[in-house]
Structure 1
Amino acid sequence: MIQRLPPSLTPLDTALAALLRGVDPVAPVALPLSEAIGCVATGAPLLAAYPPCDIAAADGWALRANDLVGASSYSPLPLTTLPLWVDAGDAMPDGCDCVLDTDAVELSGPLAQVLAEGVPGQGVRRAGIDVPDRTPVAVEGSPVGAAALLLARIAGAERLSVRRPRLRIVNLPGATATMQMIADVARAAGLDVSAHEAGARDVASIAEALDVSACDLLLTIGGSGVGRQDAVVAALVRRGSVNAHGLALLPGRSAAVGRLGRVPAVALPGLPDHALAVWVALVLPLVDRLSARRPRRPRTLPLARKIASTVGIAEIALLAEEHHAWTPLAVGEWPLQAIARAHAWLLIPGSSEGFAAGAAVDAYLMRE
């Protein structure tokens, strides 16, 4: 059976609202640090102050600055006792508040003299300067990055509590490159990804692969259009329901959204640019809801030149940051070289005719 797009396309906002309806954040899981990067933090432990005491920031002689007033190479200051040597990272000896370089102290048998003054804190890392007491390892609702993992390792933590939605991707034969791209961006967004391929492009084979027993979100790749071998929508109807097929969105017009039981499902087109556009416009907001992620922060810059858009269709523009402005690379249709060059994407609402040159626009980074 050939699927036909409806004569009137579903507005993007309507499709997104249907997709998000009834979706709650997934339960937190404790993951090893090596698996937690990119996932959204929750219930992060609080760190004790680090370093726990004043430590040497460089190799040298540990001394007290007030004892060195007036010392210079022209007027060496004799010391009554030999100074203590410290290596970088050593705890500062009691009463010492600075570290002098090796050539600032001259030794002659049991005698020592100082050839330079010091100031309190010179060559010293103060207690708590790196991590104040009761600092959270990661920010609640934000993705875990390399800096958060560093703090966790310093604290001796082996696991972090995060939200990591489980994504099942069902690929149709012939869309492998697109599936691999979506799997890569999904893992970078902190999802637990499992990828599968339907046995064939017919309704029964696709429906058989739509197993949602162990996932929080299902994506299909390819087969959402109106070609003779496009049977994804019929398979979704057989296993669940379809809320919208045919979106007022460019790229991504042939996408569909539905539900298999309580699990939201999105049918992505097989073309890479169309699939990626549906990912940023529909799937990312769903991932953020499942992860309880804080709102993404846009980057606001003026447009280097105008963008024209068709009223009634939401279009997504790819942008490159050049000379402190957004330069449009592609609107509505995305050549692969534009995807490779893009720094950010801009959603142009269906109610808009576009933006004038010089207008400040909010764009979202392709890679955060």
Structure 2
Amino acid sequence: MTQRLPLSLTSLDVARQMLCGGLQPVAPRDVLLADALGCVAAEMAATEPFPPRDIATLDGWAFAARDLVGASSYAPLAMAAAPCWVEAGDAMPQDCDCVVDADVVDAFGPLVQVTAEAIPGQGVRRAGSDIAGGGALVAAGHPIRSLDLVRARGAGYTSISVRRPSLRLIDMPTTKKRDLTVHLIAELAQAAGTMVTRGDTASLRGDASDLLITIGGTGVGRGDATVLALAQSGVVLAHGIALQPGRTTAIGINENIPVIALPGAPDQALAAWWTLALPMVDHLALRVSRPMVTLPLARKIASGVGVAEIALLRQTNATWMPLAVGDLSLDAIASADAWCAIPAGSEGFAAGAVVDAYLLKSCD
């Protein structure tokens, strides 16, 4: 039997308004640094300078540089008092501002002699040189990177304040297994900074998550009962989104929790994740923005009017090279550097047109 699409398609903008209207961001919470990567930073108190005082960066003898003026191997400088030995990471002794190597100090005779000069700051990390202090460790609304966690651990933090939405992922029972898509969405959700839990159809009732996402069963085949299950436990806001791929996506509300029912095919679920679920996650976490790059198209993109189409792009010679439009193979998804949504009212973009696209690959 040929599958029929929902007769009425809801635009992406309207669907997003239905989902986000009146929805409040989640409250900040402290999470361990090991769990913070990718989460969106909440407001934080100003940091203290780090290190809090000057520390040695190498093993050696601590001096005041002014006391070593004129010292050389030809004219060793005798010291009135024995110097202080420090090791890397030690706090510098009072009135000392440099560390010299052990081999330029003769401390084994009756007199301590130094055979080289030094400059202030030699072998020393100044107080506040790693973290100046006075500002937030990570600006609110920005995702926490591994490089941010280096600073946090260096400053002695064990936890950090984030806005981390909880997301319940439900694999709907259908006649076909959806493991590929379930793993894909779970990994994307975790990378977006959510706390992902897995559930079954019983999770549609009495769930305390911030967002429910179902996988599979959104079509009109004999085994597709997701929309019916949502209608029985909550409210279906729309079934059928003007999106290609992903037309059979449905959205709803269950006990005041927004629900996005993603199709079971990977490319359809991915398109709906990018255009509906990810904006919801960002809204809940108060994320500032997602990285975009603006480049001209290497060749034209054709699109049908009335449905927003997803285009996958690869960056080539400072241009966007279209890889796929509307029908996204796994090879194209894995090869893409970015994606964009062609508006429903557009017939596409001409070659050379400047296009904003969301990056798929980033690094710290």
**Could you say whether these structures have the same fold, taking a TM-score greater than 0.5 normalized by the shorter chain as the test?**
yes
Judging changes above 3 Å, is the alpha-carbon distance between structure 1 residues 320 and 67 closer, same or farther for their aligned structure 2 residues? farther
Counterpart in 2 of 1:327? 321
Counterpart in 1 of 2:15? 15
Judging changes above 3 Å, is the alpha-carbon distance between structure 1 residues 104 and 323 closer, same or farther for their aligned structure 2 residues? farther
Counterpart in 1 of 2:172? 172
2:58 maps to a residue whose letter is A
Q: CA deviation at 1:247?
A: 1.7
1:211-360 alignment runs, 5 A limit:
211-360=205-354
Q: How big is each residue's C-alpha offset from its partner over 1:190-233, in whole Å with a ceiling of 9 and x where there is no partner?
A: 222221244xxxxxxxxx55224321211111111222222212
Q: How big is each residue's C-alpha offset from its partner over 1:73-99, in whole Å with a ceiling of 9 and x where there is no partner?
A: 455444444433321111112222222
Q: Distance in 2 between matches of 1:359 and 1:124?
A: 53
Q: Distance in 2 between matches of 1:222 and 1:37?
A: 29
1:1-368 alignment runs, 5 A limit:
4-73=4-73, 75-107=75-107, 109-173=109-173, 174-198=177-201, 208-368=202-362
Q: CA deviation at 1:100?
A: 2.4
Q: CA deviation at 1:313?
A: 2.2
1:14 maps to a residue whose letter is V
Stretches of structure 2 that go unaligned for 5 or more consecutive residues are none
1:196 maps to a residue whose letter is G
**% identical aligned pairs:** 54
Query: TM-score, normalization: structure 1?
Result: 0.87
Q: Distance in 1 between matches of 2:123 and 2:198?
A: 53
Moved more, 314-323 or 286-295: 314-323
Moved more, 247-256 or 281-290: 247-256
Contact 1:247 1:254 in 2 (8 A): yes
Question: SS in structure 2 opposite 1:51?
Answer: coil
Q: How big is each residue's C-alpha offset from its partner over 1:271-305, in whole Å with a ceiling of 9 and x where there is no partner?
A: 11111111011001111111122222323344444
Moved more, 181-190 or 279-288: 181-190
Stretches of structure 1 that go unaligned for 5 or more consecutive residues are 199-207
Q: CA deviation at 1:149?
A: 3.4
Q: CA deviation at 1:52?
A: 0.8
Q: Distance in 1 between matches of 2:99 and 2:348?
A: 61
Q: Distance in 1 between matches of 2:69 and 2:350?
A: 65
Contact 2:6 2:248 in 1 (8 A): no
Question: SS in structure 2 opposite 1:227?
Answer: coil
Q: CA deviation at 1:106?
A: 4.6
Judging changes above 3 Å, is the alpha-carbon distance between structure 1 residues 44 and 3 closer, same or farther for their aligned structure 2 residues? farther
RMSD (CA atoms): 2.6
Contact 1:3 1:233 in 2 (8 A): no
Q: How big is each residue's C-alpha offset from its partner over 1:306-326, in whole Å with a ceiling of 9 and x where there is no partner?
A: 433333321222233344443
Judging changes above 3 Å, is the alpha-carbon distance between structure 1 residues 234 and 54 closer, same or farther for their aligned structure 2 residues? same
1:110 maps to a residue whose letter is P
